[in-house]
Amino acid sequence: MPRILIVEDDSLILTSLARALAGKGFHVEIASSMHEADLASRVDLVLCDLGLPDGDGLLLVRRMSSERPDVPIIILTARDDETDVVAGLTSGAVDYVVKPFRLNELIARITLQLRLRERSLRDDDVRIGDLLIEVGARRVYRHGVEIELRPKEFDLLVRLATSVGTVVRRQHLIRDVWDQHWSGSTKTLDVHINSLRRKLGDSPGSPSLITASRGVGYRLEAR
Ligand code: CA
């Protein structure tokens, strides 16, 4: 069930859109500010308004698209100037829909982006140095040798790989790999990271493929 986050401060649009998308079988998350959007759980697609009470939605689009390049963002706004559309589409959004929008057209655009995302996740092999991740097949190789990972270890590696070279915050890893409602100890994250490191063949004394930014998060090194 695809999960869609709607970031919109107009409560009338928010509730009617949420209801319509839920009626089409999507799992819907809602946020009425940039702050609330940051707290959202794992999602597959984002619909984002630009005029938000706590800032310009373009900032949010930039941030989300750099943190989660695999999650398509569709801007949904009343701003219809060409310069706004261009700014939106160059900020990391994949599509730009002007209000008032046609509901069925919007749903068709959402469905298209989800299909494209699924295809790219299925087809993409991620190569990072001597590491090869076959995302669709859920297989991982290092130096050409396959490594057996448990499902959460694999998800964690893929999540780190989508932001290779940058620190992914602990709360984002927990949110994306586990669940927003996950109430377990954050120790679980460290346990999985350590197990992942061991399986990836890190040995004491040699530089690790996954490095910790103490108290902040973890980074998969780009090499
Ligand atoms: Ca607004």
In this structure, which amino acid lies at residue 195? Answer: S
Cα of first residue to Cα of last residue in the chain, in angstroms, is 35
What's the gap in Å between 67 CA and the centre of ligand 1? 23
**Angle, helices 151-161/187-199, rounded to nearest 10 degrees:** 90
pLDDT score at 67: 83
What's the gap in Å between 16 CA and the centre of ligand 1? 15
pLDDT above 70 (res 180): no
Measured at the alpha carbon of residue 23, what is the angle toward residues 22 and 25, in degrees to the nearest 5? 65
pLDDT score at 187: 86
What's the gap in Å between 47 CA and the centre of ligand 1? 12
What's the gap in Å between 49 CA and the centre of ligand 1? 6
64 and 34 Cβ atoms separated by less than 8 Å: no
pLDDT above 80 (res 82): yes
48 and 60 Cβ atoms separated by less than 8 Å: yes
Q: How many CB atoms lie within 10 A of CB 166?
A: 14
> For residues 56 and 19, what is the distance between their CA atoms, to the nearest angstrom?
25
Domains, in order of start, for the chain: 3-122 (3.40.50.2300), 125-220 (1.10.10.10)
What's the gap in Å between 168 CA and the centre of ligand 1? 29
Percent of the residues in the chain that have a pLDDT greater than 90, as a whole number: 65
pLDDT digits (tens, 9 = 90+) for 199-223: 998 766 677 899 999 889 999 998 6
pLDDT above 80 (res 95): yes
What is the number of alpha carbons within 13 Å of residue 181 lying toward its C-beta? 1
Q: How many CB atoms lie within 10 A of CB 219?
A: 19
In this structure, which amino acid lies at residue 138? Answer: R
> For residues 131 and 145, what is the distance between their CA atoms, to the nearest angstrom?
9
What's the gap in Å between 9 CA and the centre of ligand 1? 5
What's the gap in Å between 75 CA and the centre of ligand 1? 11
Considering only residues 20 and 144, tell me which one the structure prediction assigns the higher pLDDT. Answer: 20
- Name the helix (H) or strand (E) containing 28: strand 27-31
Catalogue the long-range contacts made by 12-16 (C-beta closer than 8 Å, 24 or more residues apart). Answer: 13/49, 13/99
* Mean pLDDT within 156-167: 90
| Residue given tokens 């900032």 in the structure block | 59
Considering only residues 134 and 8, tell me which one the structure prediction assigns the higher pLDDT. Answer: 8
pLDDT band (50, 70, 90) for residue 40: confident
> For residues 183 and 210, what is the distance between their CA atoms, to the nearest angstrom?
25
What's the gap in Å between 59 CA and the centre of ligand 1? 14
What's the gap in Å between 204 CA and the centre of ligand 1? 52
